[in-house]
Structure formats: C-alpha cells, structure tokens
C-alpha cells in the first residue's frame, strides 16, 4: 500500500519527546500512547521514538520513481528477474522478529534502546531487513528481494542518518540430489559468464574452521550453496559497479571476499569493492542458519541470504557527498535524476557552515551519546550536518561527567544567517535541559 505523503501519520500535539533510562525519563513527558502508521500503541519505558523519526516512516524513498535509492533498487531487482520483489512491509516489527527469530543472543548490543528505536517493549522499528526473513520464508517464497527503510540510533555526520534503506535477498532450495545438481549447473553457467567479464575476484574459502559449515549440512550442499551465493553476488556487483567504474581487461573491477560473522548465517562473508582507489564495504551475506528456516516451517530447505545498504552504494555511484541529500525535496536535487540511470550528482551549491559549542554536565552517567543526537536532530532536522563530542571529562571530586559538543549547522538550500543559527542553538540548549536534564556549564 502506498501511503499518501500529505496525510500525517502521527497525531499528537506536543513537540518532541525522548525517554531512555529511568533517571532520564523523569525529565520527559512521553504521552501514554502514540500512533504509528494508523495503529495506537501504549508507551512504556522503552519508548524512545521522536517526531523527527516518525515523520520519515511515510517517505518511502525507495518507491519514489527517479530517486537514486529507487533506481538502485530497480537495478538490483533487474538482476534477479525470477525473484519475488517485495517493498511494502511495515517498518514496525517485534523484537522477536528483529532479533530472536535470527538467533541473536539475549545480550546482543543491537537490542539496547540506546541503539534501536522502540515504540514500546514489544514493538520497534526494524533495524535491518533481515527482520523479515522468517515471515517471508514461511509464506513459501523461496527466492525474494525485499527493499525497505531501516532505523538505527546513531551519530550525526555526512554518512550517518537514523533512517536508511536496505535490500535483503535470499534464495533457498530443496536438498535432494537432483535439486543440488540443478544449483551446480546454475553455478557453471554463472562461472562462464563471469569468466568472460572484466572482474578480478579475491576469494576466501567457502568454509573454514573459523567460518564453519553448519552441522546439519553435508559438505557438498554446503559448498554449492556458498559457491552459488558468491557467483550471484559477484555478477550483481559487476552489473552495479563496472558500468560506472569502466572495468577493462587491463583494469578489471576488483571484488574481495572476507570471512565475517553474523548471528544468523554460517559460513558468513563480507564483500568489498575497490572503487576510486579505496576498498569499500558493500554487503554482508552467508548461508542461512538452519534454525531460521526451521522457524519458518521450511526445515527441509537450505540456502543463502545477503543484505546491502542502498545509501552507501548510491553515495558512491552517484557521487552524492552528504546522506541528508537523499531526503531533500528540493527540485535542484530531485530533477537531476532519471529513473534507471546513474549520472554523477552535480552539487548545486555549498553554503557556509556555522558551528556552535555547548558544554554541560550530564544529569546521570547513563545518558547515552545517542540521546544527545536524537534531541539535536529533533530540533534542527536536516539543518544539522555534524555533531562532534570535542571534550569529555569526569570531575575528580563530584564524579560528574562533562561534555563539550560542537554542532555544525549548514543548509543545502541557502545561507543560514547568524540569528537563525542562534535561535536553533538556543532551542537545542533548552531542549537538552528539558529532556535530558543536563546542566549547562
């Protein structure tokens, strides 16, 4: 369902809240319930969504024709024409879907409310597209791509934004001899195609002592699954990057496979591409943990999955210098792009930045840096370019913690005048006092 952009999706009248630890929570005025995408949820001490985040839920950049995120999605989808292409799953999931269904340990740091956005203890915004694996496999879909917005509490700079987009791809198959043979034949075909392409691959073993096959998998099917995964992704990366990088016989596209760890795959890999002089981390992938497939009711299958971040790749392919630009509704940004084509972004202006420093005492030691970033983002929106903690110390006698924070303001559309920045900064300061109980030094 395509949600209308003009309809507000959250209905509450106050102008911002954040709640984290009990000691911080006493400074906040979280309402007793909130509405997210047409549903009402009771709040509790997990609630830490902010209006600025909620306003992003309806944007659906990946469905906006011509937008770089949407073009990149189409390119990936066109590489997997026989896969189901999904893109309308709600960002609201349970912690079970996001973590437990994928065998994340109970103490995994990603679960912390300092790292993820919770509506309440039982509902959160997905932090990755893998959250939907069990659900999709259990619908009987064996080959699929899912594009979606994902949410993570994070620092503020040119390459971090609390909302970004991922694509998850997966393929599972039967494990009887004839099905495995079919996958082997497909591998041979892909191998021949890649051999005729200008690509140089630095590979790792399909499995090793530190990156093992799963005990329930036999050697042959485990090998062929990892091999099929590698071939499918190498040819995807060739499609995405060789066009822009101009791979030739003498200067082929370089792709590097690295052993990795994810709670929900084994063996697991990360893939990097050498682009404009640097190795860039592009995606994570691996052989799906059998327990995930068991939970989905497809215990007799096996297969692979990958997840990639679209903003990172789009920033590289389109030469887009700041992640905030993807959210721009300015015609000078949007009108530069044609759906299905990758053209270098032409910066239309670079207005001067303006910075302000704040020093304060934290109200309690459990105030997390991410609490600070969310408050600033909520006040200044996309006018904040970067937030850096430039000094941190603990008072010897009182044991109070002090921070000095530098906020860099800059607009893409116009020059910010000093008075305007002062107003923003004053609002940031009073919001930090109200919401986080800090004491300005």
Counting contacts by CB under 6 A, is residue 265 touching ligand DAH?
Answer: yes
Counting contacts by CB under 6 A, is residue 168 touching ligand DAH?
Answer: yes
Report the residue from 286, 302, 312, 318 that binds ligand DAH according to the rule CB under 6 A.
286
Counting contacts by CB under 6 A, is residue 91 touching ligand DAH?
Answer: no
- Three-state SS at 147: strand
> Residue 431 to residues 53, 276, 436: CA-CA distances in angstroms?
17, 42, 8
- Cβ neighbours around 205 below 10 Å, total: 13
Least separation, in Å, of the C-beta of 170 and ligand DAH? 7
User: Phi and psi at residue 139, in whole multiples of 5°?
Assistant: -80, 0
Residue 376 DSSP code:
H
Least separation, in Å, of the C-beta of 199 and ligand DAH? 22
Q: Which stretch binds ligand DAH (CB under 6 A): 195-203, 210-218, 283-291, 371-379?
A: 283-291
CB nearer to ligand DAH: pick between 68 and 286: 286
Q: Is 90 exposed, middle or buried (0-12, 13-18, 19+ CB in 10 A)?
A: middle
Here's the x/- map for ligand DAH, 297-316, by CB under 6 A: it reads as --------xxx---------
CB nearer to ligand DAH: pick between 287 and 432: 287
Counting contacts by CB under 6 A, is residue 262 touching ligand DAH?
Answer: yes
Least separation, in Å, of the C-beta of 62 and ligand DAH? 16
Q: Which stretch binds ligand DAH (CB under 6 A): 116-124, 236-244, 280-288, 363-371?
A: 280-288
Position of minimal CB gap to ligand DAH: 307
Report the residue from 95, 284, 303, 437 that binds ligand DAH according to the rule CB under 6 A.
284
CB nearer to ligand DAH: pick between 310 and 432: 310
- Which pairs with CB-CB distance under 8 Å and at least 24 residues apart come from 295-300? 295/101, 295/134, 295/138, 296/133, 296/134, 296/135, 296/136, 296/137, 296/138, 297/137, 297/138, 298/137, 298/138, 298/140, 298/172, 300/174, 300/175
Least separation, in Å, of the C-beta of 191 and ligand DAH? 22
CB nearer to ligand DAH: pick between 288 and 384: 288
Which of 397, 236, 389, 399 has its CA nearest to residue 306? 236
CA dihedral sign of residues 345, 346, 351, 354:
positive
Least separation, in Å, of the C-beta of 246 and ligand DAH? 29
Least separation, in Å, of the C-beta of 306 and ligand DAH? 5
Counting contacts by CB under 6 A, is residue 68 touching ligand DAH?
Answer: no
**Total residues at interface with ligand DAH (CB under 6 A):** 11
Least separation, in Å, of the C-beta of 152 and ligand DAH? 9
Q: Scanning the structure block, which residue is given the tokens 């971040």? A: 309
Counting contacts by CB under 6 A, is residue 83 touching ligand DAH?
Answer: no
Least separation, in Å, of the C-beta of 133 and ligand DAH? 7
Report the residue from 19, 52, 97, 130 that binds ligand DAH according to the rule CB under 6 A.
130
Strands (E) in 109-195, as ranges, are 118-120, 123-125, 143-151, 163-174
| Sheet of strand 84-86, all strands in order from the earlier edge strand to the far edge | 84-86, 143-151, 163-174, 301-309, 278-288, 265-275, 253-262, 199-202
Which residues does residue 120 pair with via DSSP β-bridges, in sequence order? 123
Contacts of residue 163, defined as CB under 8 A and 6 or more positions apart, other chains included, come to: 53, 56, 149, 150, 151
C-beta of residue 163 within 8 angstroms of C-beta of residue 148 = no
Least separation, in Å, of the C-beta of 424 and ligand DAH? 32
Report the residue from 124, 285, 293, 367 that binds ligand DAH according to the rule CB under 6 A.
285
Separation CA 241–CA 166 (nearest Å):
18
C-beta of residue 439 within 8 angstroms of C-beta of residue 361 = yes
Residues in contact with ligand DAH by CB under 6 A are 128, 130, 168, 262, 265, 284-286, 305-307
């Amino acid at each position: 369902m395509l949600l209308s952009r003009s309809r507000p999706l959250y209905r509450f009248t106050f102008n911002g809240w954040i709640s984290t630890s009990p000691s911080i929570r006493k400074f906040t005025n979280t309402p007793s319930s909130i509405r997210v995408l047409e549903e009402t949820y009771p709040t509790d001490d997990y609630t830490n969504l902010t209006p600025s985040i909620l306003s992003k839920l309806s944007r659906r950049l990946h469905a906006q024709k011509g937008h770089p995120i949407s073009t990149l999605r189409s390119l990936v989808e066109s590489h997997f024409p026989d896969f189901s292409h999904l893109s309308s799953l709600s960002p609201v999931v349970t912690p079970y879907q996001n973590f437990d269904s994928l065998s994340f340990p109970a103490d995994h740091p990603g679960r912390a409310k300092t790292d993820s956005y919770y509506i309440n203890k039982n509902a959160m915004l997905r932090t990755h597209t893998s959250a939907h694996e069990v659900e999709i496999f259990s619908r009987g879909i064996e080959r699929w791509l899912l594009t979606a917005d994902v949410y993570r509490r994070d620092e503020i700079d040119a390459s971090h934004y609390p909302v970004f987009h991922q694509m998850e791809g997966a393929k599972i198959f039967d494990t009887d001899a004839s099905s495995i043979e079919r996958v082997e034949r497909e591998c041979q075909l892909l191998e021949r195609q890649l051999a005729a392409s200008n690509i140089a691959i630095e590979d790792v073993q399909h499995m090793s002592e530190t990156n093992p096959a799963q005990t329930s998998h036999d050697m042959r099917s485990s090998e062929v699954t990892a091999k099929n995964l590698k071939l499918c992704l190498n040819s995807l990366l060739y499609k995405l990057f060789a066009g822009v990088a101009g791979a030739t016989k003498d200067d082929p596209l370089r792709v590097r496979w690295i052993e990795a760890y994810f709670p929900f795959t084994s063996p697991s890999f990360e893939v990097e591409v050498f682009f404009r002089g640097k190795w860039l981390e592009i995606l994570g992938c691996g052989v799906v943990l059998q327990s995930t497939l068991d939970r989905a009711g497809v215990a007799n299958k096996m297969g692979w999955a990958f997840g990639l971040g679209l903003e990172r790749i789009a920033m590289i392919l389109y030469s887009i210098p700041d992640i905030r630009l993807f959210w721009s509704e300015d015609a000078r940004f949007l009108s530069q792009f044609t759906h299905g084509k990758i053209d270098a972004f032409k910066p239309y202006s670079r207005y001067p930045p303006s910075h302000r420093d704040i020093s304060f005492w934290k109200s309690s030691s459990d105030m997390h840096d991410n609490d600070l970033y969310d408050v600033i983002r909520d006040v200044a929106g996309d006018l904040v370019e970067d937030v850096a903690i430039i000094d941190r110390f603990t008072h010897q006698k009182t044991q109070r913690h002090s921070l000095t924070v530098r906020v860099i303001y800059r607009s893409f559309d116009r020059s910010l005048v000093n008075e305007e920045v002062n107003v923003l900064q004053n609002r940031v300061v009073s919001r930090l006092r109200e919401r986080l109980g800090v004491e300005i030094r």
